[in-house]
Amino acid sequence: MDKIGKQNRIKRILAVRGMGQVITVTIGLIILCIVFSIVNPIFFSGKNIANLLRQIAPILIIGIGQSYVLITGNIDLSIGSVIGMSCMISATMMTKGVNPWAAVFVTFICCLAAGVLNGELVSRCKLPPFIATLGTMTIARGIAQIVNNNYNTGSIGEAAKGFRNFFYYGKTAGIYNAIWITIVLWIVFNFLLSKTRTGRHIYAIGSNVDAARLSGVNVHSTTIKVYVVSAICACTVGLMTCATTGMGTMDAGNGYEMYAVAASVIGGVSTLGGQGILLGTVVGASIWGVLQNGLQFAGAPVAIRNITIGIIVVVSVLLDVVVRTGKHRKKAN
């Protein structure tokens, strides 16, 4: 009796869309960790693991945002620039003596506006998401540059110490706050995606937008929602970057949108939409972070690291495609 119950539970877990890929890449992640620990034992030290988790945190947060957008079959290229914008707006205000929390609030509103703009351009104006977010990417980077007259800001100073501790340096229950923020965001957004009606609508749009519309899904508002989620995630990472460095950098987040795509895709989120779970994004972001960190400890040249990461992205997607076409063939037979 008990055995059957157990089997059913396993079957149910495996039945979740995209779970197969998550399991494969998790095995890959474990192998990577073992290999790196053998090559350089420091990799597995407590100090490095604390650092490593904190290095994964920003990638995972933007990965969550990008996964939301990818699941609807769209893409958000503006993530990196919104990070830069968030970092510069908050830092500039803090250097001008604004209360850090007020600065955070204003930054948050600005980033929300970027998200809504993305959503409106894609769903109401029917622009291809690649083009629309390419536009907002450039605009947001421009805003990042203009807020402090084309210069990086100076130090945000002592007044912002609480802000810096909250977003990055502080510890709660022995774990860095950056990691706590990531965990909270993940739980909230995972709940939203897997347990609510909005979540189901997001998958529905990604699977077949017309069918979703005909069944009464509000495609317009749902699209705006996913872009807003993406902007919230990018905003958080921007604030985290500002807290880390204690200054605003115009180039902050340069190229991060592609890290977010990589984390999502390695974790089994399909760029064609309708596929993927946030658990996969966790594994994807971890693989990315472990590679960056581990290969440095292994003393590998940067070129090797780039090649390895590229291969892993391609192979993990290839694996997914092969598995899926295999399944289709079986069904056809």
Partner 1 sequence: MKRKVLSIVICLCMVFAVACSKDKTTSGSGTTNKEKKSETETSTNTKNQAKSKTSKVYLITMDQMDQHWVNVDAGCRKAVGELSNIDYEWLAPDVKDDAKQIECINNAVAGGANVILLAANGPDAVTSALKEAEAAGVKIIYVDSAAAYPAIQTLATDNEAAGKTAGEEMVKGLKAAGKTEGKIGIVNVNSATASCVAREKGFRSAFEGTSFELLETQYGEGDAAKSKDIAANYITSGCVGLFGANEGSTVGIGIAIQEAGDTVIGVGFDKSDTILELINGGHLLCTMAQNPDVMGYEGMKTAAKAIAGEDTGEANIDTGVTALTKN
- What residues line the site for partner 1 (CB under 8 A)? 40, 42, 45, 47-48, 51, 55, 58, 149-150, 152, 154-155, 169, 241, 244-247, 249, 251-255, 292-293, 296-297, 299-302
Distance of closest approach, residue 155 Cβ to partner 1, in angstroms: 5
* Comparison of 78 and 223: residue with beta carbon closer to partner 1: 78
Pick the closer one to partner 1 by CB: 193 or 285.
Answer: 285
The distance of closest approach from Cβ of residue 158 to partner 1 in the complex, given in angstroms and rounded to an integer, is: 10
3-state SS, residue 174: coil
| Closer by beta carbon to partner 1, 150 or else 333 | 150
Closest CA relative to residue 226, chosen from 250, 209, 243: 209
Cα(212)–Cα(210) distance, integer angstroms: 5
CB of 110 to partner 1, least distance (A): 20
Distance (Å, whole) CA 218 – CA 192: 16
The smaller minimum CB distance to partner 1, of residues 112 and 300, is found at: 300
CB of 70 to partner 1, least distance (A): 24
Which CB atom, from 97 or from 255, has the smaller least distance to partner 1?
Answer: 255
Residue with tokens 């490095």: 48
- Nearest approach in angstroms of CB 249 to partner 1 is 5
The whole-angstrom separation of Cα 292 and Cα 154 is: 29
Residue with tokens 């039945």: 15
- Beta carbon of residue 148, minimum distance to partner 1 (angstroms, whole number): 12
Inter-CA distances, 119 with 42, 182, 273, Å: 45, 24, 16
CB of 180 to partner 1, least distance (A): 17
Tokens representing 50? 């604390």
DSSP code at position 124: T
Report the Cα–Cα distance between both ends of the chain, in Å, rounded.
34
Amino acid at 166: F
Contacts (Cβ under 8 Å, ≥6 apart) of 323: 20, 21
Nearer to partner 1 (CB atom), residue 149 or residue 333: 149
**Residues in a beta bridge with 175:** 172
Q: What is the C-alpha separation between 142 and 225, in angstroms, rounded?
A: 24
Judged by CB, which is closer to partner 1: 270, or 293? 293
